[in-house]
Amino acid sequence: MNTDPYGAFSNDEAEGQVYTVTGQDWDSLVAEQAERGDGHIVVNMGPQHPSTHGVLRLILEMEGETVTEARCGIGYLHTGIEKNMEYRTWTQGVTFCTRMDYLSPFSQEVTYCLGIERLLGIEDEIPEKADVIRVLMLELNRISSHLVCIATGGMEIGALTVMTIGFREREVILDMFELITGLRMNHAYIRPGGVAQDLPPDALPKLRDCVAWMRKHLPEYADLCNANPIFIGRLDGVGYLDLAGCLALGITGPPLRATGYDWDLRKKQPYCGYETYDFEVQTWDTCDAYGRFRLRLNEMWESCKIIEQCIDRLEKMEGAPVMVADPKIAWPAQLSLGSDGMGNSNEHIKHIMGESMEALIHHFKLVTEGFRVPPGQAYVPIESPKGEIGAHVVSDGGTRPFRAHFRDPSFVNLQAMPALCEGAMISDVVVAVASLDPVMGGVDR
């Protein structure tokens, strides 16, 4: 019996002609179909397809080239991250959740740590410098995520120059990630109680150079795309979803703000001190793929403004702490990376070994066993590059999460795919899905 939920069961009576294609002569098959004069066909776009943003399967029923029904098939990338987090300490969980949406890892890290800090009751004890660094990393990440969205979206409609320059700018951001965290991806840099380590001595000048680079090169995207008649022709009016549709489906982020609604958690429900930064929530009013592109372009400029404010603040915080003072939570205590970006530096190991045997034992137990979190549950949503992301963390009083479940915006926003695509041409499906910017690592966690 066929168990494919999208296929006909063996006891179902198929309507019309069914072709089982096993590699025979396509000419005869096409000729036979042409004689019938029936344009209805079911197409699998994906799961291994360059225009489905990862391992995403789209089941498209079509009349000619018009999509009459569209469905998503997900689960091909399932990693079991949320379940695995139940078998690791609270701090070790950061190394799991950072790998979900691999294009916006800091959003997952921050929402997870904010939930833990709420359960611990230490939200007011987080050092100001740690909050500023968190905002800095979130906004750098917002730019890099939007760059990938615009770059891959351009590639999928043939605008290859947009793709090459998009990844060029992203490399500059990834260099900053590597400088600050030691890694380009999968950082686990945001920790419960603060961040893993302070900025290196040469970070602030290089961050200023990074922002200067962005301000110099971001106008190229507007020059290439904003008034390009081919680009507008492919995006304008495509993937239409108005405010009522977004609210009905729970859509957040750029697709929601492209309807003209200024819903942004950085302003509506501030966290990490966002209420103290000067920036504007960007909106557009076309409800289509073109509006989502223009919106992301504008958001990158606003992120540059926030990053510059972070740099100004950090210049005045030399030597300030970046982790809570409680040695029972701060893990690992004042960690310093080695020159290779891995492990503890010799200076840090020497410091621990030289303090006392008790300090060494405490450090060992804190890292291997973890700290206990009072029983309870917390949900602290934040504004990721793709929309609202929140970690629902549940504690039973132990050293590991009883449950950690994420409200991932890619998963929720993907619900809009049928509404965007049905009634459109198959060529518009690529544009519509790209405008949602789903990342399957977040969908199939």
Say which residue the tokens 């987080």 belong to. Answer: 126
Domain range annotation of the chain: 81-323+373-443, 332-369
Check residues 334 and 197 and name the one with the higher pLDDT. 197
Query: Where is average pLDDT lowest: 7-16, 19-28, 76-85?
Result: 7-16
What does the pLDDT average to over 429-437? 89
Percent of the chain with pLDDT over 70: 85
How high is the pLDDT of residue 384?
A: 93
How high is the pLDDT of residue 10?
A: 47
Cis bond leading into 327, ω under 30°? no
Q: d(Cα 318, Cα 410) in Å, to the nearest integer?
A: 38
Q: Is residue 346 scored above 90 in pLDDT?
A: no
Q: Which CATH architecture has domain 81-323+373-443?
A: Orthogonal Bundle (1.10)
Return phi, psi of residue 85, to 5°. -65, -25
What does the pLDDT average to over 343-363? 69
Q: d(Cα 254, Cα 245) in Å, to the nearest integer?
A: 14
Q: Is residue 7 scored above 70 in pLDDT?
A: no
Going by pLDDT thresholds of 50, 70 and 90, the confidence category of residue 13 is low
Cis bond leading into 47, ω under 30°? yes
Check residues 141 and 361 and name the one with the higher pLDDT. 141
Check residues 414 and 354 and name the one with the higher pLDDT. 414
Query: Where is average pLDDT lowest: 49-63, 235-249, 372-386?
Result: 49-63
Return phi, psi of residue 43, to 5°. -120, 135
Say which residue the tokens 């939570």 belong to. Answer: 329
Q: d(Cα 104, Cα 101) in Å, to the nearest integer?
A: 6
C-alpha 248, offset from chain centre? 22
The set of residues, in sequence order, having a beta carbon less than 8 Å from that of 11 and lying 6+ positions away, is: 1
Percent of the chain with pLDDT over 90: 40
Structure tokens at 199: 């900025």
How high is the pLDDT of residue 134?
A: 94
Q: Is residue 257 scored above 90 in pLDDT?
A: yes
How high is the pLDDT of residue 22?
A: 58
Q: Is residue 308 scored above 70 in pLDDT?
A: yes
What does the pLDDT average to over 386-400? 92
The set of residues, in sequence order, having a beta carbon less than 8 Å from that of 317 and lying 6+ positions away, is: 128, 129, 132
What does the pLDDT average to over 81-110? 91
Going by pLDDT thresholds of 50, 70 and 90, the confidence category of residue 205 is very high
What does the pLDDT average to over 338-352? 62
C-alpha 166, offset from chain centre? 17
One-letter amino acid for residue 238 of the chain: V
How high is the pLDDT of residue 50?
A: 64
Q: Is residue 5 scored above 70 in pLDDT?
A: no
Q: Is residue 9 scored above 70 in pLDDT?
A: no
Query: Where is average pLDDT lowest: 241-255, 260-274, 353-367?
Result: 353-367
Structure tokens at 335: 């960690």
Most confident range (mean pLDDT) of 35-49, 61-75, 218-232, 261-275 is: 261-275
How high is the pLDDT of residue 172?
A: 93
Average pLDDT of the chain?
Answer: 84
Q: d(Cα 127, Cα 322) in Å, to the nearest integer?
A: 6
What does the pLDDT average to over 295-323? 91
Q: What is the pTM of this model?
A: 0.86
What does the pLDDT average to over 117-145? 92
Query: Where is average pLDDT lowest: 140-154, 170-184, 250-264, 336-350?
Result: 336-350
Q: d(Cα 333, Cα 390) in Å, to the nearest integer?
A: 27
Check residues 353 and 334 and name the one with the higher pLDDT. 353
Going by pLDDT thresholds of 50, 70 and 90, the confidence category of residue 24 is low
To 10 degrees, what angle do helices 160-181 and 128-156 make? 160
Closest CA to 41 of 18, 25, 57: 18
What does the pLDDT average to over 181-194? 89
Query: Where is average pLDDT lowest: 28-42, 262-276, 306-320?
Result: 28-42
Per DSSP, the three-state class of 44 is strand
How high is the pLDDT of residue 6?
A: 44
How high is the pLDDT of residue 15?
A: 59
Going by pLDDT thresholds of 50, 70 and 90, the confidence category of residue 45 is confident
Check residues 142 and 64 and name the one with the higher pLDDT. 142
Rounded to whole angstroms, the maximal C-alpha distance in the chain is 87
